[in-house]
């Protein structure tokens, strides 16, 4: 059986490799010709633990190649981007392009699977008509399912196999065929439903998380206002058997949480735009705490530019957005996982007034000694946006330690 995977990014590349390693013939198709060539030479810029070796294994099987041309296949798996535009509306142009391309090579008895995160109704109302443009009928001549991806950067290979999956087929046969295919490597349970429910469930999962983070961020700002400490408060409140307040932070980044909730928004009303505003507003909130505690034109060092701890993924990074808002300062950035920002922290803090912990990379706990940093800094302001540093250790070393969500 030949499988074509469309879109060789964070999702498509590991997915293609996993099928190849399970013995399927896999052709990875991408519209970016340079990417195709690089991948065929084992070069790619996704720093995912284990992926390099996993892809090497896939090439060694002889089952995998990347191609700039989409070829006839038994199965087409679409993993293309689904961003939002400047007015937060879903941009389905990549899904449409992929659908049109598949339609040109689609044959009887093929199975098409959409994995990209999309607004409810996209599989049946947008993709299906494009696929049928070649005269074949969905359900009768070919099968079509929506199967959302739930993996987390940093754990993609583990979660690809271990996570539970939802399959939304346009009919019973589409569900069964997709289930048979995924069960060749998925160890978690597989649930089947209709496409719109599957599309909605993926969006609901991310909106649920985004909303709960917004509540934590709202509490952080209110705790500052009321002179208390959100981190101590949440520990107490979370003793309640049915309460689980998440940790606040300097903003929500990544490819999914700041984007996916918008796919459910209908006009400007409802909860979701408010949630997005709260989470997007955290960058400015941290910016204000920096400005309130740092003389103009002095040096500010931001630790961590990835959107998530212990990864290099900088998509929608709150830190990079914060840099744009700190025009009045000399801003230096550091991230141990990003090659061009990997410098020596001690060198970077020389002459700085303010040090800001933006991302709770383990690296910073393992490598930073407060007294050594403070000796090199000109000022002594340390802002912790994650309750990550040892506050007592910093204060004893002479820092003016400021904690996000606390009145100090």
Residue closer to ligand NAD (CB basis): 48 or 179 = 48
**Residue for token pair 């995924």:** 182
SS3 319: helix
Count of CB atoms within 10 A of residue 265's CB?
A: 19
Q: Are 205 and 260 in contact (CB under 8 A)?
A: no
Q: What is the DSSP string of 227-278?
A: T-BHHHHHHHHTTSTT-------S---SSSTTTGGGGG--TT-SSHHHHHHH
Shortest Cβ 78–ligand NAD spacing (Å)? 8
Q: What radius of gyration, in Å, describes the C-alpha atoms of the chain?
A: 24
Shortest Cβ 311–ligand NAD spacing (Å)? 10
Q: From 269, 244, 252, select the one nearest 210 (Cα to Cα).
A: 252
Residue 204: C-alpha distances to residues 197, 263, 264, 277, 307 (Å): 10, 10, 8, 18, 21
Contacts of 237 (CB under 8 A, 6+ apart): 243, 245
**Residue for token pair 């909303």:** 211
The span from the CA of 167 to the CA of 83, in Å, is 22
Residue closer to ligand NAD (CB basis): 224 or 313 = 313
Please pick, among 175, 256, 308, 321, the residue that the annotation labels catalytic.
256
Shortest Cβ 132–ligand NAD spacing (Å)? 18
Let me know if 202 is a catalytic residue: yes
Residue 110 sits at φ, ψ, to 5 deg, of: -70, 160
* Residue with nearest beta carbon to ligand NAD: 9
Residue closer to ligand NAD (CB basis): 13 or 356 = 13
Q: Which residues bind ligand NAD (CB under 6 A)?
A: 6-12, 29-32, 35, 79-82, 94, 97-98, 116-117, 149, 151, 153, 255-256
Residue closer to ligand NAD (CB basis): 6 or 306 = 6
Residue closer to ligand NAD (CB basis): 152 or 376 = 152
The H or E element that residue 209 is part of is helix 195-225
Whether the CA torsion 233, 235, 241, 244 is positive or negative: it is positive
Let me know if 79 is a catalytic residue: no
The span from the CA of 275 to the CA of 30, in Å, is 34
- Vertex 397: Cα angle to 359 and 337 (nearest 5): 25
Residue closer to ligand NAD (CB basis): 134 or 293 = 134
Shortest Cβ 203–ligand NAD spacing (Å)? 10
Shortest Cβ 351–ligand NAD spacing (Å)? 38
Shortest Cβ 337–ligand NAD spacing (Å)? 16
Shortest Cβ 254–ligand NAD spacing (Å)? 7
Shortest Cβ 113–ligand NAD spacing (Å)? 12
Q: From 253, 277, 281, 282, select the one nearest 265 (Cα to Cα).
A: 277
The span from the CA of 303 to the CA of 385, in Å, is 10
Tokens representing 286? 């941290």
Q: From 93, 92, 115, 139, select the one nearest 12 (Cα to Cα).
A: 115
Please pick, among 202, 223, 308, 321, the residue that the annotation labels catalytic.
202
Residue closer to ligand NAD (CB basis): 42 or 343 = 42
Q: From 246, 285, 268, select the one nearest 387 (Cα to Cα).
A: 246
- Indicate which residues carry an active-site annotation: 202, 256
């Amino acid at each position: 059986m030949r499988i074509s995977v469309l879109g060789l990014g964070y999702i498509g590349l590991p997915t293609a490799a996993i099928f190849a390693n399970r013995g399927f013939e896999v052709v990875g198709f991408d519209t970016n010709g340079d990417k195709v060539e690089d991948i065929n030479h084992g070069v790619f810029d996704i720093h995912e633990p284990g992926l390099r070796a996993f892809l090497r294994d896939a090439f060694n099987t002889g089952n995998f190649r990347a191609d700039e041309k989409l070829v006839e296949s038994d199965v087409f798996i679409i993993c293309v981007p689904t961003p939002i535009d400047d007015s937060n509306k879903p941009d389905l142009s990549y899904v449409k392009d992929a659908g049109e391309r598949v339609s040109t090579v689609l044959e009887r008895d093929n199975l098409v699977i959409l994995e990209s995160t999309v607004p409810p109704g996209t599989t049946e109302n947008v993709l299906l008509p494009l696929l049928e443009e070649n005269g074949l009928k969905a359900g009768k001549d070919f099968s079509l399912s929506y199967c959302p991806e739930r993996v987390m950067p940093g754990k993609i290979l583990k979660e690809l196999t271990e996570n539970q999956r939802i399959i939304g087929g346009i009919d019973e046969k589409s569900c069964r065929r997709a289930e048979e295919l995924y069960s060749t490597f998925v160890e978690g349970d597989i649930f089947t439903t209709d496409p719109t429910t599957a599309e909605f469930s993926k969006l609901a999962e991310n909106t649920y998380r985004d909303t709960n983070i917004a509540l934590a961020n709202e509490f952080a700002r209110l705790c500052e206002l009321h002179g208390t400490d959100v981190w101590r408060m949440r520990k107490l409140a979370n003793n309640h058997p049915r309460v689980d307040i998440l940790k606040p932070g300097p903003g929500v980044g990544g490819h999914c949480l700041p984007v996916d909730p918008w796919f459910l928004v209908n006009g400007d009303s409802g909860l979701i735009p408010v949630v997005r505003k709260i989470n997007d507003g955290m960058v400015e909130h941290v910016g204000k705490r920096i400005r309130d505690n740092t003389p103009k034109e002095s040096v500010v060092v931001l630790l961590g530019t990835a959107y998530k701890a212990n990864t290099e993924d900088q998509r929608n990074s709150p830190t990079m957005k914060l840099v744009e808002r700190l025009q009045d300062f000399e801003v230096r950035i550091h991230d141990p996982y990003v090659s061009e920002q990997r410098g020596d922290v001690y060198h970077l803090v020389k002459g700085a007034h303010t040090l800001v912990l933006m991302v709770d990379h383990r690296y910073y706990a393992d490598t930073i000694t407060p007294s050594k940093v403070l000796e090199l800094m000109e000022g002594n302001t340390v802002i912790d946006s994650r309750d990550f540093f040892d506050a007592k250790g910093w204060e004893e070393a002479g820092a003016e330690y400021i904690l996000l969500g606390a009145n100090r």
